[in-house]
A and B are shown apart, each in its own frame.
Chain A
Amino acid sequence: MTGLGLLLRKEIREQARTMRLVAVVAVFALLGLLSPVFARYVREIVEAVGGGQFEGMIPEPVVGDAVVQFTKNMGQFGVLIAILVAMGSVATETERGTAAFLLTKPITRGAFVAAKVIAIGALLAIALTVAGVLCWIYTTILFEPLPVAGFAGGVALVWLSLVAFAAVTFLASVVTRSGLAAGGLGFGAFVATGILSALPAIGPYMPTSLWGAADALALGTVPDPLAGPVLANVILVLAALGLAGWSFRRQEL
């Protein structure tokens, strides 16, 4: 892992200089902020737009709606952003030739891959933390305070689900050496997990299953099952990243 620290500093500076950090955090912050607002006012909005025809059809919003809206937003826009962030991470450097520039220096391929993975994970963690804090504050203002530990645990589960999709896309980015192909495969995996989650045998272990568990945790209850899905997704992430590292070490640049 020679050069890992140097490459990590480079990745962080790159995210800041290219405005990727700001853009991703801003989108997540907006999603975090709007989730409780939308949950609180969706009834009024629909009734106002419908001119009274929907009056009484939508129940009074509760705190759980804010949480569900948050995980739903992260499960859609958050996943898409995670795929966008991961799809070009290795492929772009391979295509542009900057990977060849780096890897003729005393830097190992393992460090190159690890720095990318850590940077993606950290970017999603920072963005989700900001989104989570804003969501919690606005939920407290508009509804009632959520249990802090449970809500943080829920956000951590959402983070794990995003990292799972990012890891699969990252693997595709390494193997296909094309950002576009990696994005397509990442999105394909997103759609496939949506379909597979309907199967009782494997559905609870899909990354998408973590969102329901996140809702329960955020609302102060312990989801069942929890350990199995978490473990399954951790294994999925580690397997995807291990395969990516193995594949990259064998590639010619």
Chain B
Amino acid sequence: MNAELAIVARGLTKRYGDVLALDALDLAVPTGSVFGFLGPNGAGKTTTLRLLTGLGRPTAGTAVVAGVEVGGRGTDLARRIGYLDQDPRFYGWMTGRELLTFVGRAYGLGGAALRSRVDEVLETVGLSDAARRRVGGYSGGMRQRLGVGQAMLPRPAVLLLDEPVSALDPEGRRDTLELIGRLRGASTVLMSTHILTDVERICDRVAILDHGRLVTEAPMGELLGRHARPILELDPEPGQDAAVAMLVAALRAAAWTREVREDHGVLRVIVTDAEQAAAEALPLVVATGVRLARFERVRPTLEDVFLQLVGADGTGEPGPVEPGRVEQVP
């Protein structure tokens, strides 16, 4: 076991009958990093996390988490990890404080140290006011915050978080992401999600999974540099549908265009040759008579990389390559 790696998976495979949920996954998560685990629904993210917690058993392959081989008996692995399920379920008859106290006791905490830690976690996840309420009456967002709290309470070496912010409102999401980001260095966080902006906001490294296979894995900057194509963003002023349609057609026909997406009225043109595109795009705008509010060469986002590698519709089909195709991005 390399001390610099908190999680190592080698050929991790999971098959449910005829369905291959995870196909020989090799993964190395550096200690202290916040690692984003991306993929469309059904890609195998949850399966991977459940295998890493020991809740599931791999069909083949091995994994070591925080220095403990997964699949062994005893509680060595559990003592080193904190886990949040994608749909966290707790005992509805317990109050929030009781649940955290129960978790703390399971990790051997007690007395004043436990009370103080429970107070601290309740404050951190914003549940101090609801601490005496029964968990059965919590909203989905509150349950998810409680889930993050119970996972981090024992200060585990590795935190495995399955969609940790999916049920939260924007404010809760921001706060929770900041909280996860602050764990960098103290814990290793492996966080699965399909919300790309969240990953972009806090993750150091990213792995993209599709149909149970690892598509790519790299530091965020390197991934963007390696896969992202240059993008021009054109924001036409409203009320010129016919002219914009002509412009889209002209852009589509250009040799340097890889793909044109329309995103809420904004045209995102993914190009193969940034210099040529920059020189020739504006004359096309002028020729079609489109008035632009904005014309910009933008930094490619993780979403662009994701859609290119996994497919625009999340089905796992490769991203479109034929020039001129227009995608409606939700």
Contact = CB atoms under 8 A, between A and B. Distances in A.
30 contacts: A6-B105, A6-B106, A10-B91, A14-B91, A14-B93, A96-B89, A97-B87, A98-B89, A98-B91, A100-B85, A100-B89, A101-B85, A101-B88, A103-B55, A103-B78, A104-B53, A104-B81, A104-B83, A105-B78, A105-B106, A105-B107, A106-B75, A106-B78, A107-B75, A107-B78, A252-B56, A252-B57, A253-B50, A253-B55, A253-B56
B138 interface: no
B55 A105 contact: no
A10 B93 CA distance: 11
Interface string B67-93: 000000111001101010101111101
Interface of B: 50, 53-57, 73-75, 78-79, 81, 83, 85, 87-91, 93, 102-103, 105-108, 150
Contacts of B73: 108
Label chain B's interface by main secondary structure.
Answer: loop
A3 B104 CA distance: 12
B149 to A, nearest CB: 13
A10 B103 CA distance: 11
A101 B90 contact: yes
A105 B108 CA distance: 11
A18 interface: yes
A131 B105 CA distance: 36
Interface of A: 2-3, 6, 10, 14, 17-18, 96-98, 100-101, 103-108, 252-253
Given A104-B53, A107-B78, A97 B85 contact: yes
Nearest to A102: B106
Given A14-B91, A100-B55, A108 B85 contact: no
Q: Which of A97, A104, A108 has the most CB of B within 10 A?
A: A104
Given A106-B107, A108-B74, 10 more contacts: A3-B75, A97-B87, A98-B89, A103-B55, A104-B78, A105-B106, A106-B106, A107-B106, A253-B55, A253-B56
Nearest to B74: A108
A104 B54 contact: yes
A6 B110 CA distance: 12
Contacts of A10: 91, 102
Contacts of A3: 75, 106
A245 B314 CA distance: 41
Contacts of B90: 98, 101
- Chain A at the B interface: mostly helix, strand, loop or mixed? loop
A26 to B, nearest CB: 19
A104 B55 contact: yes
A101 B102 CA distance: 12
A3 B89 CA distance: 20
Contacts of B53: 104
A105 B153 CA distance: 11
B68 to A, nearest CB: 12
A9 to B, nearest CB: 9
A18 B107 CA distance: 26
Contacts of B105: 6
Contacts of B78: 103-107
A206 B54 CA distance: 40
Contacts of A96: 89
A97 B89 CA distance: 6
Nearest to A105: B106
A3 B102 CA distance: 11
Contacts of A101: 85, 88-90, 150
Contacts of B103: 105
A253 B103 CA distance: 19
Contacts of B150: 101
Contacts of A107: 75, 78, 106
A107 B103 CA distance: 10
Contact of B79 (A14, A18, A106): A106
B91 to A, nearest CB: 6
B279 to A, nearest CB: 57
Nearest to A250: B57
Contacts of A18: 93
Contacts of A105: 78, 103, 106-107
A105 B91 CA distance: 15
Nearest to A6: B105
A6 B107 CA distance: 11
Contacts of B50: 252-253
Contacts of B93: 14, 17-18
A17 B93 CA distance: 7
Contacts of A104: 53-55, 78, 81, 83
